[in-house]
């Protein structure tokens, strides 16, 4: 399954659609159309002045179309990126320093995600004004609210707390 | 492990359940032996929705252990009406009491509240979620009447919204129990609950039905719950559906002579009054069992020298 030619941060035609970064994180192989959800789940909305470039529906060898997100000046930790597994399970994370990829890893499904999703159950205590951070345990095929125990299997991206 | 809070019956192992039930039986046999165990204890009652019966049962239990209660009163007269969060309310009342009992309309309320307090907190019902003390008194009643192993139980009525049913079903997976769930299709067990039951058991002990007829003869216990009018779009539909899940003396002709009939009460017309006088009826006994069972639970949670110690591997 090696398709390194597809996602090295090099001179690939596809990659050139999005500008190169000097230092930061490149999130590649995001399912087409999920890039904005990736930013939302990471809490990156540009208000802190981050330099972010997004490629959407870029042709890819692995998928018909993929999204790619580059965040300049910020190295995302494994914990930060693991929540991406909920919406972009095939994403690869490249840490870039001085234009070189120095680390490359995949996202892994965490056991729990906190403060990222909001519970869709209107009868859940977390949907009121309580000073509580949402918490979901991650199941094989979905997520489950740790408070009301509601299980969500489809459209997890719609739960992203923005 | 020691449990400091009682939130859901799922947290209780078979060992925990047996500890509580054995102790409840001991108390039931001689309540005076524990009458002084909690003479300095104050239990805070926080009922965010009315449930006079459950509240009285807790109050009776605490007083029979020698303690007393402080009651938040109704929501209308409290700070809650001014918009105070539950997290704030429990942190304030925690300062007055040695333990808290919480009933709240929102699911997960007890879990959240327990994260804000250091005193033991007992969930007395959280919306459509859990009601573990009801479960314990149900288990106690089943054990007294039919035994918890080699048990065939039918649970009938509103299985979708009935938290009593969900809690009981989880707890019974700890035992050698065959559970039959009998309901109209629109009021079947939520898929979440079925998922959990299958996680806890291999699934062979769980079957769903839309009619009582086929399983009634095999049952040791029939647990009936109320089907509420508001679950249906119109009166006709309600009458038609609910009528199929009511029992009377004639229904029970097909049942085993040893069948025990239970109901969490209050009932409306799910169980005909003519059954009350038969040896099948255990629902009033079930309600009375709430006191010794809650005494046992409170004593175990509030004492330093006793605790609910389970065999969980967590
Ligand atoms: Zn929830």
Q: What CATH number does the domain containing A52 carry?
A: 3.30.70.140
Examine the domain organization and report whether A62 and A30 are in the same domain.
yes
Q: Flag whether A98 is in a domain.
A: yes
- In the residue annotation, B225 being an active-site residue is answered as no
Q: Residue B196 is part of which domain span?
A: 133-287
Q: What distance in Å separates the CA atoms of residue B138 and residue B144, rounded to the nearest whole number? A: 10
* Residue A3 placed within a domain: no
Looking at the fold, whether A137 and A122 belong to one and the same domain comes out as yes
Q: Which of B106, B112, B115 sits opposite A123 (nearest CB)?
A: B106
- The token duo for A130 is 């309580």
Q: Residue A152 belongs to a domain with what CATH number? A: 2.30.30
Same domain, B204 and B104: no
Partners of A142 in beta bridges: A139
Q: Answer yes or no: do A135 and A94 share one domain.
A: no
B176 has a pLDDT exceeding 70: yes
Query: For residue A139, what are the β-bridge partners?
Result: A142
Verify that B147 and B116 share a domain, yes or no. no
Residue B312 lies in a domain: no
| A75 and A147 co-located in one domain | no
Please check whether residue A77 lies inside any domain of the structure.
yes
Confidence class of residue B80 from pLDDT cuts 50, 70 and 90? low
Q: Lowest-confidence range among A35-49, B58-72, B138-152?
A: A35-49
Q: How many domains does chain A have?
A: 2
Whether B236 and B268 map to the same domain: the answer is yes
Residue B52: strand, helix, or coil: helix
Residue B201 covered by a domain: yes
Distance separating alpha carbons of residues A29 and A38, to the nearest angstrom: 11
Same domain? B128 vs B250: no
Note whether residue A4 is domain-resident: no
Do A51 and A117 sit in the same domain of this protein?
Answer: no
Q: Could you tell me if residue A1 is inside a domain?
A: no
Domain assignment present for residue B70? The answer is yes
Residues B206-257 have pLDDT tens digits of 999 999 999 999 999 999 999 888 888 888 888 888 888 999 999 999 999 9
For residue B89, give the CATH number of its domain: 3.40.50.1370
In a domain, B313, yes or no: no
Based on the domain organization, do B267 and B139 belong to the same domain?
yes
DSSP category for residue B304 = S
- ipTM over cut 0.85: yes
Residue of A130, A147, A148 with shortest CB distance to B85: A130
> Residue B54 above 70 pLDDT?
yes
B309 is a domain residue: no
Please give the annotated binding residues of B for carbamoyl phosphate, written as ranges.
53-54, 103, 131, 134, 265-266
For chain B, percent of residues with pLDDT exceeding 70: 93
Based on the fold, state whether residues A102 and A25 are members of the same structural domain: yes
Neighbours of B16 (CB within 10 A): 24
Q: B151 and B60, same structural domain? A: no
- The answer to whether residue B5 neighbours chain A at the CB level (below 8 Å) is no
Would you say the C-alpha torsion B234, B237, B240, B243 has a positive or negative sign? negative
Is there a domain that residue B311 lies in? Answer: no
> Which of A113-122, B57-66, B68-77 is predicted most confidently?
B57-66
A66 with A139, same domain: the answer is: no
A68-86 burial string, b = 16+ CB within 10 Å, else e? bbbbbebebeeebbbbbbb
**Range of weakest confidence among A8-22, B115-129, B140-154, B286-300:** A8-22
B70 and B199 together in one domain: no
User: Are A67 and A120 in the same domain?
Assistant: no
Same domain assignment for residues B212 and B235:
yes
Please pick, among B103, B160, B166, B294, the residue that the annotation labels catalytic.
B103
- Cα separation, B54 vs B309, in Å, equals 25
Q: Would residue A2 count as lying in a domain?
A: no
Task: Say yes or no: A70 and A42 in one domain.
Answer: yes
Domain containing residue A65: 10-106
pLDDT confidence of residue B305? 66
Asked if residue B173 and residue B46 are part of one domain, the reply reads no
Q: Are residues B123 and B154 in the same domain?
A: no
Chain A within 8 Å of B107 (Cβ-Cβ)? Answer: yes
- For the question of residue B103 being annotated catalytic, the response is yes
Tell which of A106, A134, A151 closes a domain: A106
- pLDDT average per 10 residues of sequence, chain A (162 residues): 44 54 94 91 85 90 86 89 90 94 93 93 94 94 93 88 74
- Poorest-confidence range of B77-81, B83-87, B214-218, B282-286? B77-81
Where would I find the H helices in A1-157?
4-7, 35-42, 78-82
Contact (Cβ atoms closer than 8 angstroms) between residue B20 and residue B297: yes
3-state class (DSSP) for residue B182? strand
Q: Is B271 left (phi over 0), alpha (psi -120 to 50) or beta?
A: beta
Q: Nearest-CA distance from A162 to chain B in Å?
A: 22
Quick check: B79 pLDDT over 70? Answer: no
A19 and A71 within one domain? yes
């Amino acid at each position: 399954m090696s398709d390194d030619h597809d996602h090295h941060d090099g001179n690939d035609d596809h990659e050139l659609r999005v500008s190169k970064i000097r230092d930061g994180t490149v999130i590649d192989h995001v399912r087409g159309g999920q890039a904005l959800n990736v930013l939302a789940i990471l809490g990156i909305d540009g208000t802190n002045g981050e330099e972010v470039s997004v490629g959407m529906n870029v042709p890819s060898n692995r998928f018909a179309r993929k999204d790619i997100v580059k965040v300049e000046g910020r190295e995302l930790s494994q914990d930060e990126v693991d929540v991406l597994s909920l919406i972009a399970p095939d994403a690869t994370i490249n840490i870039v320093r001085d234009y070189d990829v120095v680390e490359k890893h995949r996202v892994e499904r965490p056991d729990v995600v906190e403060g990222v999703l909001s519970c869709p159950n209107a009868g859940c205590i977390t949907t009121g004004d309580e000073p509580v951070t949402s918490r979901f345990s991650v199941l094989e095929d979905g997520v489950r609210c740790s408070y009301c125990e509601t299980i969500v299997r489809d459209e997890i991206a719609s739960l992203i707390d923005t | 492990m020691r449990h400091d809070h009682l939130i859901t019956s799922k947290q209780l192992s078979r060992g925990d359940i047996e500890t509580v039930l054995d102790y409840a039986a001991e108390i039931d046999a001689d309540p005076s032996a524990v009458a002084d165990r909690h003479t300095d204890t104050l239990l805070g009652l926080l009922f965010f929705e009315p449930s006079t019966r459950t509240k009285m049962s807790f109050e009776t239990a605490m007083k029979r252990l020698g303690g007393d209660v402080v009651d938040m009163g109704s929501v209308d007269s409290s700070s809650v009406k001014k918009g105070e969060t539950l997290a704030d309310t429990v942190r304030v009342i925690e300062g007055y009491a040695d333990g808290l009992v919480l009933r709240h309309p929102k699911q997960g309320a007890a879990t959240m509240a327990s994260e804000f307090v250091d005193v033991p907190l007992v969930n007395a019902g959280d919306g459509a979620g859990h009601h573990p003390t009801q479960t314990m008194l149900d288990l106690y009643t089943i054990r007294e009447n039919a035994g918890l192993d080699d048990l065939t139980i039918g649970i009938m009525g509103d299985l979708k919204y009935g938290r009593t049913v969900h809690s009981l079903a989880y707890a019974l997976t700890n035992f050698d129990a065959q559970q039959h769930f009998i309901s109209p299709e629109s009021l079947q067990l939520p898929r979440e609950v079925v998922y959990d039951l299958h996680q806890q058991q291999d699934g062979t002990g769980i079957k769903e039905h839309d009619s009582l007829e086929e399983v009634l003869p095999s049952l040791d216990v029939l647990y009936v719950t109320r089907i509420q009018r508001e679950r249906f779009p119109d009166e006709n539909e309600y009458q038609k559906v609910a009528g199929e899940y009511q029992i009377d003396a004639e229904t029970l002709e097909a049942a085993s002579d040893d069948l025990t009939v239970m109901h969490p009460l209050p009932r409306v017309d799910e169980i005909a009054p003519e059954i009350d006088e038969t040896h099948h009826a255990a629902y009033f006994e079930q309600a009375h069992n709430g006191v010794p069972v809650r005494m046992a639970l409170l004593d175990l949670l509030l004492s330093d020298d006793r605790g609910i110690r389970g065999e969980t591997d967590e």
